[in-house]
């Protein structure tokens, strides 16, 4: 199998490509990541170097391949009930005070393969009963969104799900799906997924009481962070909450927000 090496010029081309299309700042030391993730596409198309592949991707007639390259260069790491303190805040602080007079809308704004969105949905269904709610999940990667819509996960990826939720909302696969878990159809019906690029105009996604944007900002430079947060704050209803990752901070970029607890901010009414 042919091994590829990427030149500095080729790397800079892809660095500018992913920054321009997704706002992601690869920095100067991710050559091995680009090589390993895109090398398979060079082999697929029988290209001899990354310059040939880059020119192919940049051609307007190859938009499908461009999306594949974006998908491959986008990091998608998630699991069920990740950073559990956020779910404790929802369970103990927010949901008991929810009046239920309108539909509660929560946005998982970098939902990857859907584990975060379904974790939120399980908690809402458990605590809100017949009150109206919906979860919206989005990601820039069409590849992971297809997986999210299926709601099908390897059993070794479900350790974070409480046992009572496993019984209530999950089905253990059999036959060709042995070793997998399927999220219950009724729960899946309340979770919608759509492709959204957070660096471009967000369009008519509506307004939300809570937006999850966790472990995403670390991939952007300051200018892009400010732009994304500004757009998301505009989609928060007054008094709504923005959740970021515990390793992230909105210091210097959170106009219109006040800190509530670590990694949770509230939109100033």
Percentage of the chain exceeding pLDDT 70: 99
> Quick check: is 139 catalytic?
yes
Sheet holding 180-183, edge to edge: 152-154, 180-183, 170-172
- For 154, the 3-state DSSP assignment is strand
> Quick check: is 105 catalytic?
no
pTM: predicted TM-score of the whole model, two decimal places:
0.85
Mean pLDDT calculated for residue range 231-245: 95
Instruction: Kindly report each contact of residues 25-30 with a partner whose C-beta sits within 8 Å and lies 24 or more positions away, as own/partner.
Output: 25/219, 25/220, 25/221, 25/224, 26/73
Instruction: Name all domains of the chain by residue range, CATH numbers in brackets.
Output: 8-73 (1.10.155.10), 84-267 (3.40.50.150)
**What digits encode the pLDDT tens for the residues 192-227?**
999 999 999 998 999 999 999 998 888 888 999 999
Could you give the residue ranges of the DSSP H alpha helices within 46-79?
Answer: 50-58, 63-73
pLDDT band at 76 (very low <50, low <70, confident <90, very high): low
Mean pLDDT calculated for residue range 233-259: 90
Give the tokens for residue 171: 């089905």
Q: Are 200 and 227 in contact (CB under 8 A)?
A: no
Q: Are 65 and 41 in contact (CB under 8 A)?
A: yes
> Which of 77-81, 158-162, 228-232 is predicted with the least confidence, judged by mean pLDDT?
77-81
Q: Are 52 and 58 in contact (CB under 8 A)?
A: no
Mean pLDDT calculated for residue range 146-173: 92
Q: Are 138 and 108 in contact (CB under 8 A)?
A: yes
Residue (of 152, 158, 147) closest to 178 by Cα position: 152
Residue (of 71, 82, 104) closest to 243 by Cα position: 82
Of 82, 105, 139, 214, the active-site residue reads 139
Q: What is the pLDDT of residue 202?
A: 93
């Amino acid at each position: 199998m042919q091994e590829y090496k990427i030149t500095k010029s080729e790397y800079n081309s892809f660095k500018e490509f992913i920054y321009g299309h997704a706002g992601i700042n690869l920095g100067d030391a991710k050559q091995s990541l680009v090589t390993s993730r895109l090398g398979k596409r060079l082999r697929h198309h029988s290209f001899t170097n990354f310059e040939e592949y880059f020119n192919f991707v940049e051609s307007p007639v190859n938009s499908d391949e461009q999306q594949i390259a974006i998908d491959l260069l986008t990091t998608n790491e998630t699991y069920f009930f990740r950073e559990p303190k956020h779910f404790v805040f929802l369970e103990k602080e927010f949901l008991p005070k929810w009046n239920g007079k309108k539909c509660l809308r929560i946005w998982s704004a970098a939902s990857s393969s859907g584990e975060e969105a379904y974790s939120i949905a399980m908690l809402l269904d458990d605590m809100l009963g017949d009150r109206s709610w919906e979860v919206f999940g989005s990601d820039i990667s069409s590849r992971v969104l297809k997986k999210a819509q299926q709601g099908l996960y390897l059993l070794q990826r479900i350790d974070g799900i409480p046992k009572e939720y496993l019984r209530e909302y999950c089905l253990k696969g059999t036959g060709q799906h042995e070793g997998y878990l399927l999220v219950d159809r009724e729960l899946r019906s309340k979770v919608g997924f759509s492709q959204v690029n957070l660096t471009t105009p967000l369009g008519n996604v509506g307004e939300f009481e809570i937006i999850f944007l966790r472990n995403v900002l670390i991939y952007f430079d300051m200018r892009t962070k400010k732009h994304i947060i500004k757009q998301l704050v505009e989609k928060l209803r007054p008094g709504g909450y923005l959740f970021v990752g515990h390793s992230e901070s909105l210091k210097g970029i959170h106009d219109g927000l006040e800190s509530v607890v670590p990694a949770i901010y509230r939109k100033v009414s």
